Amino acid sequence: MEGLITLESNVLASHSLEWDSMHWTHGVAPIMLASFISGLSGALSQKNLQLGGGGRNPYLFSMELCAGSILILSLSLIFSADGKQIAVEGFWNGWTPQTWIPIVSNSIGGIIVGLVTKYAGSVRKGFALIFGILLSGIFQAFLQPDVGVSKQQTMGGILAAISLWLHSAHPYEGREKSKQD
């Protein structure tokens, strides 16, 4: 039995050091694509919300995004096992009053994100998100000392701190618009 455990741990250790194609196709590439899409959608949302003359109503914008999400999720239920279960047992089956907690908090969060994007911008919203992740890591370290903060979380925090420093040390300087008489 002891030999099996040693062999198993050696195999796991050697496999964890390999950078196989699964690492890139199921890890790095999706994260990079999601980051690109997130940045693009943040910029487009900010542009729509901050157009000259006041921009769009952030509450209406949040409702439009919610309607799009409901449509996409409803269509995905047609093809999923959960959708078939809902068709048999009903939509409200298994719901409790506690079910409303994430629904309401997510709704309020969506409205807050729309307001922050309109009045502070998507870059500052990103900074607030990074600060929230930092606070979560600090709370995790104090509340769960046996778990602590992993090396990956520490490295992510360092990279986020460097990006915040780079942004504040080298702010964007827009070009002056030429005045045509």
pLDDT at residue 7 greater than cutoff 50: no
Q: How many CB atoms lie within 10 A of CB 75?
A: 10
The mean pLDDT of 28-50, rounded to a whole number, is 87
Q: How far is residue 73's CA from residue 67's CA, in Å, rounded to a whole number?
A: 10
pLDDT at residue 43 greater than cutoff 80: yes
Question: Sorting pLDDT into bands at 50, 70 and 90, what band is 19?
Answer: low
pLDDT at residue 11 greater than cutoff 50: no
Q: What is the pLDDT of residue 33?
A: 92
- Average pLDDT value over all residues in the chain: 81
pLDDT greater at residue 143 or residue 4? 143
Question: Sorting pLDDT into bands at 50, 70 and 90, what band is 108?
Answer: very high
Q: What is the pLDDT of residues 68-102, one digit of tens each?
A: 989 999 999 888 998 899 989 998 999 999 999 99
pLDDT at residue 39 greater than cutoff 80: yes
Q: What is the pTM of this model?
A: 0.63
The mean pLDDT of 163-168, rounded to a whole number, is 84
Q: How far is residue 65's CA from residue 129's CA, in Å, rounded to a whole number?
A: 20
Backbone phi and psi for residue 91, each to the nearest 5 degrees, phi listed first: -65, -40
Q: How many CB atoms lie within 10 A of CB 109?
A: 12
